[in-house]
A and B are shown apart, each in its own frame.
Chain A
């Protein structure tokens, strides 16, 4: 009978105690435990081969060890990542462990226990006098992991791993104090939507809570379609229960009875992991009917999005759930008032929901102490491109771009110069090096013409052409425009066509004004933010890199030497080595021939300008040159070998 009077928290503590026991067993395992990062990116880098490698060598050497699959730490540059917990040593993190390295680790470290293989070591997870610790590295020192705290350290397939680190405690607390309280906490925390626009989540919830129609729905938007952003996928794959807990708290706050996870079908692993997580949470009565004896019920299911960028827009997402083409609808009514089936529907991004449990656990004051006054909390970026340490980075809002790119991610690779940072994907903008002091938060980025967007951040060096980047993004949004609004449908096409003509050297100066005019029209004439933000890449590049546009148009020159119709390759006969065939072998179109003095030259008619010969040419010769415009090729008087010379050459 006492069972019935138990509070949700007491119910949960029973689960948590058991979970802690199980995890303790793992942490204090008498045999070594090998944790391998197995999210999609880790698998791409070969994590499954690494596991196979470990298994084989362990077996061959008769060593007993446990292998655990964990999620992603976000250190993409170092994949596959492996943590080894060998009794007597602190847990050690290793980088770039393929099957071969796995064998070495087993033989040197696990078998003899003598050599922890410093050559692959990043550091110890906790402070230790014999090893460098992760805190010695800028990536760990400057990051503030709130949402990604447990990513890559826990097994996403094991609910116990999440329960053992305090998982679902916030939900139990929320159930005890009620939905109103949860709503107030999130409102006071001023949690702004992490999907890009930054609309306060609490306000959205409040609107839905006040509407009296039922049943209400909460939807987790995991339709991450932005090329260059993958943090939502990582969160779904690495800490699925955190997403579910946030989803349940949101449902509690607005009084929803059903919840949906809308995940891209292109993320099959995320779908699988989430489905399993829902199952496990249901078994422990953390979802489903009468959650933890509180009387609150929530049904959760997964819907697979079919790959349409526009479905990131709330109203389009709802359309696609109803089995229609994902076309945005005019607002109001806002989905929070009339969404799915005309009933109140709250849609939050994966990151937003993943942040909620920590706010409930630590209180809104704690959350507001991180980040800035108007944008509290942390931001997750996928920093990729020409930086030393690309990957997922979680930093407090309010740090500068400079700090993020240079201090946290190690600056530009190969000693090159930073040219621009593309932030926010197709809806964002390109910011030049002079704006690197810009502070990262929703409002500051908007004021310079960029956008937080989904948090994709591509760092570019002098070899990237800004006109081409603008063309690329416009091409993307053009293809993804749903076609509903004329200005978006036709305007983006005009933009793309003009940009294309500039990149092939057929642009005209007056078209630069046309570009600006069309951009204005597309912004004004589009219903949803796909169209409203599509011109951002064009406008920011025009504003900050106008000289590149002018060079393309007036000189037919691509300053970054990237636009292929405006460049040419030639081989400098001076450094080219007689008899070396490296470039000939790599050329996909057989455009490289041997000259009469047995050096190499490029047949411009056959050359497709792929640039492969640049990399193939041994660095000690470094003879391939890239010029723009193509007429810059000097006349070196090269002649192909005559037939007799060829025969002579071949007979050697």
Chain B
């Protein structure tokens, strides 16, 4: 099925499906038979796929449409209607800036700008090295700790623009240390 779908794409579209995405799609092909064929299960199916792989690859939508016997238009319509779904892979460090009322009043927008400037990506994008992705969320319900930012699983409370630098530096230092550790291990193994 996957190769058929790939064959139907034009040159540039096919080039956009890299090795990693191909792997994800292959996995989706394997997972699909376990899902219900009911159209009413469309949302739970999309949730499952995104839950496993972090995003919904374009061709996965075609496969789901085929699976529940509906049009790709309907599947795409649903996936774009709900805020939960995303179409590009998230970064290893997904950053979600809360823009609920309390966070907005306390400058959430400014934080978002600072992240955009620091990471050189716009909201909704993932950095080229897949290290970071940046999103805005409506409210994470931590209003009393505003302004809040979720980095990975961790909620950072009372974030200030200068703390943005600190958050990113912390990740960079952690990565750097992990890399050195890795290098050390590799050296000893040799």
Measured CB to CB, the residues of A under 8 A from B are: 40-41, 43-45, 76-77, 79, 225-230, 233, 265-267, 303-304, 306-309, 320-326, 382, 384-385, 390-391, 422, 425, 456, 458, 460, 464, 469, 472-473, 476, 482, 585-586, 588-589, 608, 610-612, 615-616
Contact = CB atoms under 8 A, between A and B. Distances in A.
Contact of B81 (A303, A308, A469, A585): A308
Contacts of A585: 162
A43 B162 contact: no
Given A44-B157, A458-B102, A458-B105, A612 B162 contact: yes
Given A306-B84, A321-B40, 13 more contacts: A45-B142, A76-B142, A226-B139, A228-B143, A229-B141, A306-B46, A307-B83, A325-B81, A385-B143, A458-B102, A588-B162, A610-B110, A610-B161
B43 A320 contact: yes
B2 interface: no
A325 B107 contact: no
Listed from nearest, the 8 A-B pairs whose CB atoms lie closest are A76-B144, A230-B141, A306-B82, A227-B100, A44-B155, A307-B83, A228-B101, A384-B143
B163 to A, nearest CB: 9
B146 interface: yes
Contacts of B144: 41, 76-77, 79, 384, 390-391
Given A77-B144, A422-B101, A230 B139 contact: yes
Contacts of B83: 306-308
Nearest to B153: A43
B143 A230 contact: yes
Name which of A230, A306, A308, A324 has the most chain B CB atoms within 10 A of its CB: A306
B145 A45 contact: yes
B47 interface: yes
B148 interface: yes
B104 A306 contact: no
A323 B77 CA distance: 11
B137 interface: yes
Interface string B86-113: 0000000000000111101101001001
Nearest to B99: A227
B84 A265 contact: yes
Nearest to B75: A323
Contacts of B142: 40-41, 44-45, 76, 230
Name which of A40, A323, A422 has the most chain B CB atoms within 10 A of its CB: A323
Contacts of A225: 138
B152 interface: no
B65 interface: no
B38 A44 contact: no
Contacts of B9: none
A325 B77 contact: yes
A588 B117 contact: yes
Interface size class of B (residues with CB under 8 A): 35 or more
A43 B102 CA distance: 19
B114 interface: yes
Interface of B: 38-44, 46-47, 77-78, 81-85, 99-102, 104-105, 107, 110, 113-114, 117-118, 137-146, 148, 155, 157, 160-162, 164-165
B81 A615 contact: no
Contact of A306 (B43, B77, B118, B145): B43
Given A308-B83, A321-B40, A612-B162, A40 B101 contact: no
B38 to A, nearest CB: 7
B143 A469 contact: no
Given A320-B43, A588-B164, A45 B139 contact: no
A76 B143 contact: yes
B82 A384 contact: no
Contacts of B118: 588
Name which of B38, B105, B164 has the most chain A CB atoms within 10 A of its CB: B105
A472 B101 contact: yes
Nearest to B70: A323
21 contacts: A45-B142, A45-B145, A76-B142, A227-B100, A227-B138, A228-B101, A229-B139, A233-B141, A266-B84, A306-B85, A307-B84, A382-B143, A384-B143, A464-B105, A472-B104, A588-B165, A589-B117, A610-B113, A610-B114, A611-B161, A615-B160
Name which of B38, B85, B102 has the most chain A CB atoms within 10 A of its CB: B102
A41 B82 CA distance: 24
Nearest to A39: B141
Given A227-B101, A464-B105, A266 B140 contact: yes
B77 A384 contact: no
Contact of B44 (A45, A304, A324, A615): A304
B143 A308 contact: no
Contacts of A266: 84, 137, 140
A44 B117 CA distance: 26
A318 to B, nearest CB: 11
A322 B42 CA distance: 9
Contacts of A228: 100-102, 139, 143
Contact of B102 (A40, A45, A384, A589): A384
A425 B38 contact: no
A325 B76 CA distance: 10
A608 B113 CA distance: 9
Contacts of A458: 101-102, 105, 143
A652 to B, nearest CB: 25
B42 A43 contact: no
A230 B113 CA distance: 26
